[in-house]
Amino acid sequence: MSRGTLYDKVWDRHKVTTLPNGQDQLFVGLHLIHEVTSPQAFGMLRERDIEVARPDLTHATVDHIVPTDDQSRPLGDDAAEEMMAELEANVREAGIQFDDPTTGNQGIVHVIGPEQGITQPGTTIVCGDSHTSTHGAFGALAFGIGTSQIRDVLATQTVAMEKKQVRKIEVTGELGEGVGAKDVVLTIIRELGTDGGVGYVYEYAGEAIESLGMEGRMSICNMSIEGGARAGYVNPDETTYEWLRDTDEFRDDPEKFERLKPYWESIASDADAEYDDVVTIDGSAIEPVVTWGTTPGQGIGITEPIPDPESLPADKVETARRAQEHMRVSPGETMEGYDVDVAFLGSCTNARLADLRDAAEVVEGREVHDSVRAMVVPGSQRVKAAAEAEGLDEVFREAGFDWRGAGCSMCLGMNADQLEGDEACASSSNRNFVGRQGSKDGRTVLMSPKMVAAAAVTGEVTDVRELPKREVEA
Amino acid sequence: MAHEVEIPSVEHVSGTGIPVRGNDIDTDQIIPARFMKVVTFDGLGEFAFFDLRFDDEDEEKDHPFNETQYQDANVLVVNANFGCGSSREHAPQALMRWGIDAVVGESFAEIFAGNCLALGIPTVTADQATIEAIQDWVVANPDGDIDVDVAAETVTYGDTTVDVDVDEAQRKALVEGIWDTTALMKANENAIAETAANLPYVGSD
């Protein structure tokens, strides 16, 4: 078993007791809730006549169903309005802080926590959303949970869990030009498999990870779940502290920052920590990655050929064959040149300010291709405001992108933003499952924000590193 | 005073089987996102595997959940990495409300297995060959009895009994009837307060 890792230390600090079933009862430092997975949990509490234990450690927003254009009330979609109203009633009754769209703080649950500084190192964070692993970028232990567990947390501020093993994933070297966090995590999932992380939490380390900013680390931790890991984290360091210093929690309270910093430093993995497994990946060999199939593990470097299903391990053959049929791709070809109808820049994986800057850099001075419907959906109202303050919205608008309001949008299609028919989408989101973006015939190709930008302007999957050269040729 | 909830033990699940083949069946397939625009789980059963069961004209497609011989089945037999993707408890809720009481498979995504446990649904595992043999048997014997013995960690179908794995915490929780953790954890209020008080970042409430 692992010893001396951040995971071990934070687990021990938060362990209340071992339950009769053998699971550990863990104290939850921050419970994030949203409109989709919490109403039934509040219902169950009412049935049992239990009150919310720690509203002060609970924080709500609305993201999955919220429209990204007209957010005036009542919402145009009756079902969405009902969910919104239910959340409002629940948080009001319990006295939980709620970042609704009128506050200027609303956004995707995994974007607002870090930007407000409530996501901190050495904390335990849970949310009824699998991408809660995002918060691990700060050195928090962050887990996605189901609705019955939300009930548990609301009732007790604790959750029942089994301790996992720790796998250190060391990404060495320097990332190449045009290569970013998204390419790194897609490479990890491809190499270890979508179920490779079952039974593990992932500790991301190595030069390529440490040199990333907080946004990049969040993109990587965000997709831990796509690799089957229950959580992922990066040890806190100066990059982490710099981010925190400038958040609501600490901007005007430097004493609080100084008081907590020794704790944050103390929970980082020891130099001689023991891991259950260590995997090393050469970061300098990673190129921009895109998916060719219908799971996040079906990715390839942009210059690599799409694999022949028959060449894959026996248990992957059938899934690959069906995926290639759905995506209409053939072995031996590369994904470069794959026609796209939609470009979606958004989601809890890649809709932070740094992601929008990355994409804007590619878009600037270019135009969205005639055949592409392109949209930017900032991860939060604050990201949107910050992007507008530096003129990114103008860059996107001038190029022909639709500049929209904050929310989960087309990532999972629980709102009006959806693929239609068999549209192919260059997407900065996290899942390419069949039907994921709202149309069961839709085709999602996962990629980095830069690569989405490149696809938007050329109308096809494009190696962002080759984009300037292509224009010279044209 | 909080209401006590009666939690039954789940030592074994008996009934007939239904096979759903394929690896990496994600929770978006088990319950498509659009059916999650609800504030209760009540009606989710009819939407289980909806997009795999119906085409654009709402005509039935080939899927075990549509087939007459499986309509009373309660033991779902699946392959590898079942329930991956979104953490939505709507997925096991939809299966449970369709009629599923136990899932036998090669492997499960962890959040999915945890969500099943919270509903008292065992998720038991065996190797690929064992699972495929059970699936083949179910196809040949849709009325045949399957018994998932959680306590003994076996699955019996026809004259065959095979060993399966049940996660130790899951086994204990189901067999002893302690799988609904709310009351279990609420009983430790003093220890919870003590743990919180020792965390430098937690204020008093």
Residue B183 lies in a domain: no
**Closest residue, chain A, to B178 (C-alpha):** A21
Question: How many cross-chain Cβ pairs, A to B, lie less than 8 Å apart?
Answer: 222
The two three-digit tokens of residue A26, written as one number: 């863990």
CA distance A356 to A207: 24
Six-digit token string for B195: 């743990």
Helix then strand then coil, % of chain A, to nearest 5? 40, 20, 40
Contact B192 A16 (CB under 8 A): yes
The contacts of residue A105 (CB under 8 Å, 6+ apart) are A61, A99, A112, A116, A380, A381, A382
Q: Is the pLDDT of residue B204 over 70?
A: no
Residue B2 has pLDDT above 90, yes or no: no
- Do A160 and B184 make contact, defined as CB atoms within 8 angstroms? yes
Which stretch of DSSP H or E encloses residue A218? helix A214-222
Question: Residues 51 to 90 of A: which have CB under 8 A from any B CB?
Answer: 54-57, 65, 77, 79-80, 82-83, 86
Instruction: Kindly state whether residue B155 falls inside one of the protein's structural domains.
Output: yes
A228-257 pLDDT per residue, tens? 999 999 999 999 999 999 999 999 999 999
* Domain residue limits at B107: 12-177
Strands B102-105 and B75-77 turn out to be: parallel
Domains A6-266 and A289-461 share a fold: yes
Work out the angle at residue A454's Cα, subtended by the Cα atoms of residues A396 and A363, and round it to the nearest 5 degrees: 25
For testing contact with chain A, the best of B6, B29, B87, B128 (most A CBs within 10 A): B87
Residue B139 placed within a domain: yes
Could you tell me which chain B residue has the CA closest to the CA of A225?
A: B85
- Supply the pLDDT for residue B203: 74
**d(Cα B163, Cα A323) in Å, to the nearest integer?**
33
| CATH (domain of B23) | 3.20.19.10
Pull the structure tokens for residue B44.
Answer: 């989710």
* pLDDT score recorded for residue A91: 98
pLDDT of residue A474: 56
CA distance B170 to chain A (A): 7
B125-182 confidence digits (pLDDT tens): 999 999 999 999 999 999 999 999 999 999 999 999 999 999 999 999 999 999 999 9
Residues of B with Cβ-Cβ distance to A43 under 8 angstroms? 39-40
pLDDT value at residue A473: 66
User: How many domains are there within chain B?
Assistant: 1
Note whether B92 and B99 are within 8 A (CB). no
CB contact under 8 A, B29 and A57: no
Backbone φ and ψ for A134, nearest 5 degrees, come out as: -50, -45
Alpha helices by DSSP H, listed for A53-104, are: 78-94
* Separation in Å, CA A106 to CA A113, A118, A259: 10, 14, 29
Which chain B residues are Cβ-neighbours of A47 within 8 angstroms?
3
Q: pLDDT tens digit string along B47-96? A: 999 999 999 889 999 999 999 999 999 999 999 999 999 999 999 999 99
Written as one string, the DSSP assignment of A378-418 is -SBHHHHHHHHHTTHHHHHHHHT-EE--SS-GGGTTSSS--
Whole-number mean pLDDT of chain B?
95
What is the homologous superfamily of the domain A289-461 according to CATH?
Aconitase, domain 3 (3.30.499.10)
Q: What is the ipTM of this complex?
A: 0.94
Cβ atoms of B20 and B84 within 8 Å: the answer is: no
The reply to whether residue B39 touches residue A120, judged by beta carbons under 8 angstroms, is no
Alpha-carbon torsion (A385, A389, A390, A396), positive or negative: positive
Q: Which two tokens stand for residue A246?
A: 């400038």
Preceding peptide of A74 cis, ω within 30°: yes
**Would the CB atoms of A195 and B107 count as touching at under 8 Å?**
yes
Of A36, A57, A228, the CB nearest to B109: A228
Round to whole Å and give the CA distance between A79 and A85. Answer: 10
Domain membership of residue B205 (yes or no) is no
CA dist A13 → A143, A179, A237, B32, B196 (Å): 16, 37, 20, 38, 9
**Between vectors from CA B32 to CA B27 and to CA B37, what angle results, nearest 5°?**
115
Q: What string of pLDDT tens digits covers the 474 residues of chain A?
A: 999 999 999 999 999 999 998 999 999 999 999 999 999 999 999 999 999 999 999 999 999 999 999 889 999 999 999 999 999 999 999 999 999 999 999 999 999 999 999 999 999 999 999 999 999 999 999 999 999 999 999 999 999 999 999 999 999 999 999 999 999 999 999 999 999 999 999 999 999 999 999 999 999 999 999 999 999 999 999 999 999 999 999 999 999 999 999 999 999 999 999 999 999 999 999 999 999 999 999 999 999 999 999 999 988 999 999 999 999 999 999 999 999 999 999 999 999 999 999 999 999 999 999 999 999 999 999 999 999 999 999 999 999 999 999 999 999 999 999 999 999 999 999 999 999 999 999 999 999 999 999 999 999 999 999 998 877 665
Ligand-binding site membership of A411 (annotated): yes
DSSP, res A435 = T
Predicted TM-score (pTM) above 0.90: yes
For A6-266, which CATH superfamily applies? Aconitase, domain 3 (3.30.499.10)
> Helices A353-363 and A392-399 sit at what angle, rounded to 10 degrees?
40
> pLDDT value at position A292?
98
Structural domain boundaries in chain A: 6-266, 289-461
DSSP A68: S
